[in-house]
Every structure is written in C-alpha cells, then in structure tokens.
Structure 1
C-alpha cells in the first residue's frame, strides 16, 4: 500500500528525531517558517535524505531510487556520472510527482550542502540558469540511507552536486561535481563576466598569475586548451599542464592556498575538509601544477578565462569562456575512475 503523505507537523517532528538518531550537528536554518515551532537545531542533510527516502511511495522509489552500483545502459555507473547540463531522473523536484513536504526536504538538502554564506549566490545562479532551484532539477538516491552506503545526487543545468555522508570511499564531494553560471547569455566579447557568482575564483587565480615573474608566467601559460570535461586522474607520474607549485616561492605558495580556499568556499565545511584531506593524502599542493590557457581569452585582456589546478588525483578545471563551467574531481588516490 502506498504511504500517505506526512502532515507538516509530523514531517518536521520526524526530521528532528532522525537528525538526533544520526548524531547530526547544527547546520543551516531549515525553512523555519514551515512549522509553528521551528527546530532549534535543524537536521543535517544526510538525515534529511534518509527521511526523504522513507517518505517515498513504492511508485516514487521505482522512478528515483537505485542500487548503489546501478549501471545505466548508456552512461555506465550512474551514481558517478557528471555533466554540465543533465537530469539524472525524469521527475523535476518542484512537480506533482513529489509532495510539498518532499519538495521542502530536497530544497533543504540542497541548502544544507552549500555553505550558508553562499546561499544567496547559489540561488542567484539557479534563478539565472534554471528558473530557480527545483524548477528544472532532478534527484536520484543510491543505496539505502541508514543501511550501508548511500548517496543523493542533484542535477540540472550547471549542476551536479552530491550528498553522501562519506559513503563514497576515497573521494571528495561523494564523487565528481560540476558548477557553472551564465547570468546574461554571455556575449563572446564580454570580458567583464558581470553577474557571474563564480568569477571571483578566476580573479583570485589571475591575481596569482600577475604575481609570478616572467619565467614563471611562461611556464604557467599553455597554448593548447584541453577539453573541459577531461578531468580524469593522471596519477603521480602524470604530465600536468602549467607550472609545478614546487616552483613557487613561499609567498606564492600562500597565494595558491588562497586560490584553493576560494575554490572550496561555496561548499559545506565537511566537504571542504574531505577535499583537503584527499589533497593532503596525495602530496598536497606541492604535488600539483597550475595552468592558464591562452585560448578563450575573452576581450584579449590577458585575464585568463580558462585555467586548471591539477595533481595526481586532484583536478579543478575552470572554464570561463564564454561563461563559467567548472569541473571538479578529487580523491585520495588516482585509482578512482571518472564517469563523465
């Protein structure tokens, strides 16, 4: 028999108990207006995934829930796929397929995996690119939350994000992720990137480039632009584009650390920590190289739109032309395979 939808008070009451059962720490506010008695300590995203899973009817589970190692006939291991513009399942979040309470859960999971100080910027990106979060986004749940490894994957235009509770071993963010922004239907000659919420990351990297001496800039600047989705790991013996971080002075290395801080800033603290731990396991920034690409310099202003920070099992590829596409793939060892 299909389950009847939870009423709103029962829904948030169960959310609070689920969080306590899983030892959830305090996180971002969870739609406090949705109940007469707001929760003092909102549940963590993983506990909300569990509650969402438990609320799904058999018919819903058949459409959006999969085994942990489910193989898609075209895409392979579905859980690990990443793309710039896709829907992992056919059902849109803000549709009649989900109850209003389930929709609120998905919205809360989305906000829970984004750093609070980035909520407004991420919402702006979703407004510009997808008509607002939920309008064109879809989800899938892999495994059984609360019983073995599990992960929820959020997809849509300029979005592949994950909530895995560290179920995906050896890899940060639960697997490869994607983010981007096209705020103004960018013109090819627009060098301002006005309105792009992620362009500050490129400005930080370019500030570092300007701090390099002439020889270092020659090493860092690359004439051939790789395919933006080519972010599979090359391993410790890989040939990385650009200049090795070991060629930097102590002051320059500190600026690379600031670039890295800017890159991980949009995401919740636990995902930041996991990304840094994976990087440390493979040798840290000293095992990485930084490349700036000559092709795609919008406006010919030598503010390099395309650049990449890469190590044995760390790839952060920023494509800024004609608008921002960013591909992220991080693990603690290079044996983890990419499914793009």
Structure 2
C-alpha cells in the first residue's frame, strides 16, 4: 500500500528540475550539466492511457490490476527480479493487436533515452530474441482517472512508466537491467556488452584511489545482488565514503552516476537527482568493490556497489551483467525483490 499519500508527486516532478539546476552548487551532490529540467514526463504516460482504452474486456481482466494489488509475495507493482513475467501474454503474440504492439513499443522508447534505444534493442536481441519476444506488461490503477503505472518485465529487464503516480521514488520504483552478450559466461573484457562501460567508469575511480583508500574500498565478498532495500541515514554501508574523496576522485564518482542514469529518460534522471539531493547527495554514499567474481583475475572488479541512505545501485558483472537499482527520497519506501 502507498505509504505517502500526503505528498503530491506531481509537485515533486516540478521541483526536480529546479533541484537539478542547483545541483552543481550544492555541496555533496556532484552533478554535471547533463541533468536538465524534465520535459518529457507525460508523453509515454499518455500512451499508456491510449493502450488501456484500446483493450478489450478480456485484456483488462488479465493485464489490469488495482494500484495496491498484492499476491503471496507482497505488492506486485513494486516487485523487481532479474527474469520474471508479471503477466502471461507475451508482447509479440496474437494476444495484442498490431496497434497495441506499436503503442507498447512507443511507451518503451519513451522511458529510455533516445541515444540508448539501439543498445537496448541489442541487449534484448541477445537475451530474448528481440523486443517483445520474452516481455510482458501489466497496468496498475486506471489511466486518466487515478494513480496508474505500467510495468514491463522479462529476462534482464524490469522497467516502469508510472503516470506521475508512484510517490517518493525514481523510475516509478525499483528497476533491473542486464545483458549476457556472448553467452552466460562472459570473458573479462565483456565483449559487446552494452552495460560494461559502466563498470569501466567505476573501475577508473578505483584506479584513482591511493593504496589506503583502495584497501577501504575493496572487500572480499559482495552482498546478495537483490539486497537493495534502503538502510536509511544510520545504515552500515560498505566501501569508501564519497565525502572523504579528493575533488578529482569525487568528479570520477559523479561521472559514474551520470553513466549509470544515462540510459533513461530525462525526467527519471531528474528524479534520481532530486532523491539524492534530499538525502545529502553523493557525499552520503559509499562506493565498494568486491574481489569475488573477478573474471580472469585481472583486478578489474566485475562486482561493485554505490549505496547511500535511499540509493542503491548494485552492479554484478560476473558471470554476466546484472544491475539492481532502487532510488527514493525516503528510506521508508518498501521494496519487493520477489
């Protein structure tokens, strides 16, 4: 159940752009010029309403659920997993009309960055035979009349289009992405993996650390990848605190953040910025690397984690890439990792 009914998320979106503009001068936030006021928040949401209106009664019964629908494992709308099907019908099937398939595709294109559409298509081709071949959707709430959110799931993907409804969270809730570009067990350099450059950016920061800092940042064993619940300001975070880094090292962490959020639409990036700002920025986060899963024993760490009071980005690059993401502006937001 939504635990923050008193907060108007539409106002949150309006202020997110302003927060992004202030980010460069706000201590501890460390954001660059890429983050700008959101301009694209409503386009994919309006398509969700068109999709909903086009559905017959059978489709609505099977794909459309109440906002607070639960099952034996909790609130279904907020679930995130690495490979799951939120409903049974596959997008590329006769269950959907050609117009509905087109709308679903346009919704997907609207919630990711235009520059990343080709790369997501490459990932989906490698992992699932192409867009829609292994993916499913569900719509929670009633578009146009109340809170609503479309959730799309499948192998190596959980993404959301939340209709300005899911309060206090970025991306409409926790998301997942991954890629197995050349089979289940990838080589150290992760050839053709569309997300490996994110790990390269993080490892570049590790190289900037002195010996004492590296000892603090590098641990033997990683936490469970799906462990992305928020710890709050009193949490016990792993690794080295960003606030303790030098200015050039902090700039490197800022580059990591920008690299992580770049695949998604601007309004979602702005929400990440606003959520971080409310909880002390990147200065309140820690960056950790893990010796386990070092493919090829090359000391280019395949598993790493950036975490703060209400921010978790867990990158597991062994044996292929899995990334679990959870960002909010309050630690009281519940997460369902299924």
One fold, TM greater than 0.5?
Answer: yes
Q: Which residue in the other structure is 1:109 paired with?
A: 107
Which one of the candidate residues 225, 242, 259 is aligned to 1:228? 225
- 2:5 aligned with 1:45, yes or no? no
Q: CA deviation at 1:156?
A: 0.3
Query: What CA distance in whole angstroms lies between the structure 2 residues aligned with 1:87 and 1:283?
Result: 36
RMSD over aligned CA atoms reads 1.1
Which one of the candidate residues 119, 129, 135 is aligned to 2:133? 135
Query: What CA distance in whole angstroms lies between the structure 2 residues aligned with 1:143 and 1:267?
Result: 23
Query: What CA distance in whole angstroms lies between the structure 1 residues aligned with 2:220 and 2:164?
Result: 38
Query: What CA distance in whole angstroms lies between the structure 2 residues aligned with 1:149 and 1:287?
Result: 32
Query: What CA distance in whole angstroms lies between the structure 1 residues aligned with 2:236 and 2:254?
Result: 22
- 2:255 aligned with 1:242, yes or no? no
Q: CA deviation at 1:148?
A: 1.7
1:105-141, Cα deviation, whole Å (9 max, x unpaired) = 0011111111000011000000000110111100000
- 2:206 aligned with 1:215, yes or no? no
SS of corresponding position for 2:139? strand
- 2:282 aligned with 1:301, yes or no? no
Query: What CA distance in whole angstroms lies between the structure 1 residues aligned with 2:219 and 2:242?
Result: 15
Query: What CA distance in whole angstroms lies between the structure 2 residues aligned with 1:186 and 1:323?
Result: 6
1:6-27, Cα deviation, whole Å (9 max, x unpaired) = xxxxxxxxxxxxxxxxxxxxxx
- 2:68 aligned with 1:69, yes or no? yes
After superposing on structure 2, the runs of 4+ consecutive aligned residues of structure 1 that deviate more than 2 Å are none
**Structure with more contact order per residue of length (Cα contacts < 8 Å, sep ≥ 6):** 2
SS of corresponding position for 1:172? coil
Query: What CA distance in whole angstroms lies between the structure 1 residues aligned with 2:208 and 2:219?
Result: 17
Q: Which residue in the other structure is 1:252 paired with?
A: 249
Q: CA deviation at 1:166?
A: 2.4
Q: CA deviation at 1:172?
A: 0.5
Query: What CA distance in whole angstroms lies between the structure 1 residues aligned with 2:135 and 2:222?
Result: 30
Q: CA deviation at 1:186?
A: 3.9
Query: What CA distance in whole angstroms lies between the structure 1 residues aligned with 2:121 and 2:170?
Result: 23
Query: What CA distance in whole angstroms lies between the structure 2 residues aligned with 1:268 and 1:209?
Result: 28
Q: CA deviation at 1:182?
A: 0.2
Q: Which residue in the other structure is 2:142 paired with?
A: 144
Alignment of 1:11-30 (within 5 A): none
TM-score between the two structures when normalised by the length of structure 1:
0.86
Query: What CA distance in whole angstroms lies between the structure 1 residues aligned with 2:49 and 2:68?
Result: 18
Query: What CA distance in whole angstroms lies between the structure 2 residues aligned with 1:166 and 1:59?
Result: 27
SS of corresponding position for 2:152? strand
Query: What CA distance in whole angstroms lies between the structure 2 residues aligned with 1:319 and 1:151?
Result: 28
TM-score between the two structures when normalised by the length of structure 2:
0.87
Query: What CA distance in whole angstroms lies between the structure 2 residues aligned with 1:79 and 1:332?
Result: 19
Query: What CA distance in whole angstroms lies between the structure 2 residues aligned with 1:123 and 1:57?
Result: 29
SS of corresponding position for 2:171? helix
Q: Does the 8 Å contact 2:185/2:318 carry over to 1?
A: no
Q: Which residue in the other structure is 2:116 paired with?
A: 118
Q: Which residue in the other structure is 1:278 paired with?
A: 275
Query: What CA distance in whole angstroms lies between the structure 2 residues aligned with 1:53 and 1:165?
Result: 13
Query: What CA distance in whole angstroms lies between the structure 1 residues aligned with 2:244 and 2:48?
Result: 44
Alignment of 1:138-177 (within 5 A): 138-177=136-175
Q: Which residue in the other structure is 1:204 paired with?
A: 201
Query: What CA distance in whole angstroms lies between the structure 1 residues aligned with 2:232 and 2:164?
Result: 23
Q: CA deviation at 1:170?
A: 0.3
Q: Does the 8 Å contact 2:238/2:288 carry over to 1?
A: yes
Instruction: For structure 1, list consecutive stretches of 5 or more residues without a partner in the other structure.
Output: 1-40
1:189-211, Cα deviation, whole Å (9 max, x unpaired) = x2110010000000000001001
Instruction: For structure 2, list consecutive stretches of 5 or more residues without a partner in the other structure.
Output: 1-39
Q: Does the 8 Å contact 2:143/2:163 carry over to 1?
A: no
Which one of the candidate residues 86, 93, 116 is aligned to 1:95? 93
Q: Which residue in the other structure is 1:57 paired with?
A: 56
Query: What CA distance in whole angstroms lies between the structure 1 residues aligned with 2:139 and 2:304?
Result: 33
SS of corresponding position for 1:125? helix
